[in-house]
Structure formats: structure tokens, C-alpha cells
Amino acid sequence: MSHQELTGKTALVTGGGRGIGAAIARQLSGLRATVIICGRKADQLQQTASQIQSAGGQCEPQVCDVADWKSVTALAARVAKTFGRLDILVNNAGIGGFGGPLHTMPVENWDAVLNTNLRGVFYTIRAFAPMMISGGGHIINISSIAGKNALPNGAAYAASKWGLNGLSYSVAEELRGHNIRVSVICPGSTHTELSPHEGKDPRKMLQPDDVAHAVAMLVTQAPQSFASEIILRPTQKP
């Protein structure tokens, strides 16, 4: 891939302060995009932004809670005013819900998982897609293999990702006529703070950079086609 392919493009990565989101932000910056990262923790965002800036990239950190509509619309207004465009939206922000069977799950935990992992993606698409329609671009939703398979003791998380997959396929049909390509990436076990590690070898798990590489493939794909879904698995079962 040419390092000039994303020159002049602006990208937003939610949950960009650490883990997969930070890796995606670094990858897009390496392709010469201007990157905005958002999340709830300013210190993590600033640390990632500083790393990217030290490497010669352009990165702006912004505190935003994707589960809060007012927070998302404020971010959209800032992006429109500061950059005047958005070419790439990566919906990566997510939280886990692996605390046991669904019938013992506190109601507020269900709300937290669904509000971030699913409602938050609706909010960002609702806020940013109108901005993208005039110029086209990419929306990439980071889902999970848990959105394909049963996940005992993680039903809320699985439900959020199954819902995210359905949302992604449907929005892809709505926006493809506007030259916006919507894709979903479903990684398997990934070595991050979010993913359960019990009984797994971290060295065999996917790494955040593996997911970032898939994002890079999608946003540099030839314009006449798009991959609507990528299922990403570790080579060896962890």
C-alpha cells in the first residue's frame, strides 16, 4: 500500500485511546490520514495522540462518550468546523460483558453494554453520515466473532455484536448509493484488556495491529468494490 493513499483524508476512530482503537489510529496515520481519536479518558487519548504526533502524524484527541447523543453531536460539530469533512469513520468503542449468565446480570450492566456497543454506533452514524454523503468514504464497524457464535456468560456482549452486524449490513445498503462503503470486521480472541484471557495463550491471540491491518486493507481497496465483512481469526487456536 502506498503511504500516500490517504493523504488529505480525515478519519475518526472511536475508542482510540488504547488497544485496537489506538492500533487503528496509528495505522491510518501511517497512511497519511489526519486522525481524530475519541474516548472517555483524556489521559489515554493524549498518550496515543502524542505517540502518533512524535512519529510525524497528525492526530487530535477528543473526549467523547459515544453512548451520549449530546456528546456525539458536539464532536460532530467540532469535526465539521475544524476539518470540514470526514472520510473514514471507525466505530471501535466497546465494552465487555462477561460476568456470568444473563439471568444474574445486573440490569445496569446490560444497559452499559448495549448503549456503548450498539446504540453508540447508531449515534455516530446518525451524526457523521450526513457529513460524509457529499464526498463518500468508509464506515467500518469493529464487531466480534461473538456476533457470529454463541457466547455463554457473555450473552449481552454477543447480543450487541449480533445487532451490530445486522445494523452494518443494512446501513451498507442504505449508503452504498452515496459512495459510502460500510464494512464490519469480526475478530476472534484479541490480546487487549477487553478480551477474556482465561485459559488462552496471549502469544497465540490476535494482536491489535492485526485488526488495524484489516482496516487498512478496507480503506485502500479499489473504488469499484468493497468487502462487506471480514472474519479475522488467529492462525493457531489460543
Q: Give the catalytic positions in this structure.
A: 157
Q: What is the length of the chain? A: 238
CB 2 within 8 A of CB 27: no
What sign results for the dihedral spanned by CA atoms 100, 103, 109, 115? Answer: positive
Residue at grid coordinates 470526514:
86
Buried b (16+ CB within 10 A) or exposed e, 17-51: bbbbbbbbbbbbbbbbbbbbbbbbeeebbeebbee
CB 64 within 8 A of CB 72: yes
CB 137 within 8 A of CB 87: yes
What are the two backbone dihedrals, phi and then psi, of residue 176, each rounded to the nearest 5 degrees?
Answer: -65, -30
